[in-house]
Structure 1
Amino acid sequence: MTTAIDITDVTRTCQNAVSTAALITALESAWAAIRERHPEVPAAVIVVGSGSPTKPNQGMKWGHFAALRWQAGDTQLPEILISGEGLTREPEAVFTTLLHEATHALADVRGIQDTSRQGRWHNKKFSTLAAELGMSTTKDDKLGYSPCTLTDLTRARYKAVIADLSEALRFYRHPEPTGEGKSRTNNNNGVSCECECPRKLRISKAAFEEGPIVCATCGAAFLPEDIDRDTYEHPTFATGRAGDGQATDDPEDDDPMVFYDPTGERFGLPTYPFKFAPDGLLTRRQLRDRQLRPGGQEPAAQILWRRGKRVAYLFRLDLAVPKRTATPAQRAAIDTALTARRTCPDCRQVKPYYIPRRTGTCLDCHGDDR
């Protein structure tokens, strides 16, 4: 004869039963509230999981968006992950993470590439979409425009939703230990670069400064992770349009006035050191900042620096013309063309990357053919 054992002792490994159903329901309701105000934001599967870093030099992840990660019958749905470690934050911060991931979802629906560097760098397109959803962004040196905060109007609109979240936030996940790790003591091949696919390569600093290495798949240059791709101007191969302006190991080349050649006798084009250009001559970037473009004019002069390894052409300000603005039809055509480049011809799925030309299919289909 056996008797039932009544377990009444609660220990570290034996706890009373709990349910996270209310938490998931609150997160799903918050997502539904976002979609109600912004119908283009797609339906998604909301999950709570680990946000702990896997390496000592990585930071905590509050959430992520993954396109077409779940299958429900004939429907593919994206995934929105909210990290359990982040549930210790204020309810408004948790909701801001949801709205942040909704921005990525909106970018995916519209075929806009809003991130690079494996999703870490958030570009200006992300900032624009975040503002559309009611957030303000600030620029971080490593993450771009990833940091977001709710505007006062958005905070008021979702006040009831945030209050419901506050009632449901009764759980959180403990961070996982990553260990100290072993740091590298030398760096003989010290520039780690990646394109927008993203693919990575490591090259020497001297090789990087020689000129751009361009990815044949996405057409973007390989740049270090800590470089702002939106504003970076890569070194060029040439040191000038003509003449004998070759970089040498002469210590005199460290003197910026070596490149002072206002008549163009030496370099074939009027040449000035960095920050010594005369008034009335601007680079393409400076013209863009003024909403102008060269307008078909030939370069009037050039700037050389970094021992002649970098060049920027100068154009006359008085001959510059206003920048052209794309019409709605042109923007729609561009969006259609970019979406076509991300659509696999075999499975017809829209991928978060351009279909590689060397395979003609997405990475999933190409892997199945092997």
Structure 2
Amino acid sequence: MTNTGSQIIKAIEAAWRTIQRKNADVAEVVVVTGSGFHGKNPKWAHFWPGRWTQDEEGKEGADINFVDQITKGMPELFVSGELLGLPGRRIMQTLLHEAAHSLNHTRGEHGTNINGRHNKTFVKAANELGLIWPEGKEPHGSIGFSQVEITDETAKKYEKTIEKLEAARLAFLADGRRAEKGQSFGGNGKTGRTTGQGGGDGGSGRGRGARGGSRGGKRIYAVCGCETPDAFPITPGRLERGAIICGDCDEPFRPREDADAA
């Protein structure tokens, strides 16, 4: 057994801590990795608020029920193995993108709509972190202003961190290099929002509209985990493409009949 995987995670965690030191509103996260290109919703990364429940047991004065634990859950920062095959500067760009989603979440802002379309509220947070929307570029039809880019000034600011990300690239999934050349993916974000919340970089560009899917136009009703959820119509195919997270309870929307059964 090698420690390759743990070294990769440590490098990402260290990069995230560096971002936090420069930006106090960037949240603590649980870092995970894996393939981001194995399903119908390719993504480089995502930021998923409340994904991990913290263990409050044993803390002084703790009187935590299950709902409280979910409310206090830590966000997940997923970084795809495909992204790790790209240059350190490109990895840093995606980490800053996800940090922008974290800023939006911390401040109670919605940087994306329910279909994962990134808006100018997201761009404003991205600007704070040293990312810019290319001048004259039109927003993407489904993921909006997702494709913000790292500036030379920001890359210089994080030069040592980028070098460490390069050095820690001990193993990666090769599909990312082909994806980077062949098509563009958004930048996942989860903040009211979809996972894939963008997040982390998320549109597939495979001919599906923002609300569409491969199953045609028939819609079902989806609900979240709120005590009195508001059901909304959506195609089954859209739900399969990636989780849609409620901005209030941070729970994924699912078909209403599934929720009733649970």
Please tell me the TM-score bracket, short chain as reference: 0.5 to 0.7
What amino acid is the match of 1:69?
R
Distance 2:171 2:106 in 1: 32
User: How much does 1:85 deviate?
Assistant: 1.1
Higher relative contact order (CA 8 A, sep 6+): 2
Residue of structure 1 equivalent to 2:183? none
Q: Give per-residue Cα distances to partners, 1:66-117, cap 9 Å, x unaligned.
A: 1111123135210000000111111010111111111111111111111125
Instruction: Map 1:250-289 onto structure 2 (within 5 A).
Output: none
Computing the radius of gyration over CA atoms, which structure comes out larger, 1 or 2?
Answer: 1
Residue of structure 1 equivalent to 2:53? 71
Residue of structure 2 equivalent to 1:100? 97
CA 1:342–1:62: 2 relative to 1, 3 Å: closer
Distance 1:69 1:98 in 2: 18
Residue of structure 1 equivalent to 2:223? none
Q: Is the 8 A contact 1:108 1:352 kept in 2?
A: no
Q: Is the 8 A contact 2:11 2:165 kept in 1?
A: yes
User: How much does 1:218 deviate?
Assistant: 9.1
Instruction: Map 1:238-253 onto structure 2 (within 5 A).
Output: none
Distance 1:352 1:35 in 2: 25
User: How much does 1:148 deviate?
Assistant: 1.9
User: How much does 1:17 deviate?
Assistant: 4.1
Q: Is the 8 A contact 2:115 2:210 kept in 1?
A: no
What amino acid is the match of 2:121?
K
2:111 to 111, 114, 117: 114
SS at match of 1:82: strand
2:160 maps to 1:160: yes
1:38 to 23, 35, 52: 23
CA 1:130–1:194: 2 relative to 1, 3 Å: same
Q: What is the RMSD computed on CA atoms of the aligned residues?
A: 3.8
Q: Give per-residue Cα distances to partners, 1:265-318, cap 9 Å, x unaligned.
A: xxxxxxxxxxxxxxxxxxxxxxxxxxxxxxxxxxxxxxxxxxxxxxxxxxxxxx
TM-score by structure 1 length? Answer: 0.44
Q: Give per-residue Cα distances to partners, 1:109-134, cap 9 Å, x unaligned.
A: 11111112532x11111111111111
- Percent identity (aligned): 30
Residue of structure 2 equivalent to 1:24? 9
Q: Is the 8 A contact 1:45 1:70 kept in 2?
A: yes
Q: Is the 8 A contact 1:193 1:201 kept in 2?
A: no
Residue of structure 1 equivalent to 2:124? 128
SS at match of 1:160: helix
Residue of structure 2 equivalent to 1:173? 173
Distance 2:95 2:110 in 1: 19
Provide the aligned length of Structure 1 versus Structure 2.
Answer: 190
2:50 maps to 1:62: no
Distance 1:115 1:148 in 2: 14
Q: Is the 8 A contact 2:44 2:94 kept in 1?
A: yes
Residue of structure 2 equivalent to 1:150? 150
1:84 to 81, 86, 90: 81
Distance 1:192 1:20 in 2: 36
Q: Is the 8 A contact 2:115 2:211 kept in 1?
A: no
Distance 2:10 2:210 in 1: 42
User: How much does 1:217 deviate?
Assistant: 4.7
Q: Which has the higher helix share?
A: 2
Distance 1:29 1:17 in 2: 20
Listed as ranges, the gaps of 5+ residues in structure 1 are 1-15, 177-190, 204-215, 220-224, 226-340, 344-349, 357-362
Q: Is the 8 A contact 2:142 2:210 kept in 1?
A: no
Distance 2:174 2:37 in 1: 9
User: How much does 1:23 deviate?
Assistant: 1.1
TM-score by structure 2 length? Answer: 0.61
Q: Which has the higher strand share?
A: 1
Residue of structure 2 equivalent to 1:351? 250
Residue of structure 2 equivalent to 1:273? none
CA 1:131–1:193: 2 relative to 1, 3 Å: closer
Distance 2:216 2:157 in 1: 46
Distance 1:35 1:143 in 2: 26
Listed as ranges, the gaps of 5+ residues in structure 2 are 57-71, 177-207, 219-228, 233-237, 239-245
What amino acid is the match of 1:170?
L
What amino acid is the match of 1:134?
G
Residue of structure 2 equivalent to 1:51? 36
CA 1:132–1:352: 2 relative to 1, 3 Å: farther
